[in-house]
Amino acid sequence: MLPEEQAKEIKEEQPKEEVVDVRMTAEQVQELGSALEILSAKSSVIKERTELRRLIEENEKAEAEEVSFAIRFSFVLSFR
């Protein structure tokens, strides 16, 4: 470890960083809010589309099973 004096010298030799104001203007904050609102809406639409696709596939599968059952049932009844 460096002696305390040497550590102070090294710190003093290093260039001091310029302080930059990173605050946003009211207009920038409003624009950011609008952008986040749009992204949130888009995300919701994507989730709804995914859920709708799942429901459609589930419905189509159920309809196919109903048709298959009806065909098998009518086949069985035809032998009676």
The mean pLDDT of the chain is 83
* pTM of the model as a whole: 0.51
pLDDT at 3 over 90: no
The answer for 17, left when phi > 0, alpha when psi is -120 to 50, beta otherwise, is beta
Q: What is the pLDDT of residue 12?
A: 66
Q: What is the pLDDT of residue 74?
A: 73
- Per-residue pLDDT of 31-52, as tens digits, reads 999 999 999 999 999 999 999 9
SS3 string, the chain, reads CCCHHHHHHHHHHCCCCCCCCCCCCHHHHHHHHHHHHHHHHHHHHHHHHHHHHHHHHHHHHHHHHHHHHHHHHHHHHHCC
48 vs 58: CA distance, rounded Å: 15
- Per-residue pLDDT of 49-67, as tens digits, reads 999 999 999 999 999 888 8
C-beta separation of 30 from 38 below 8 A: no
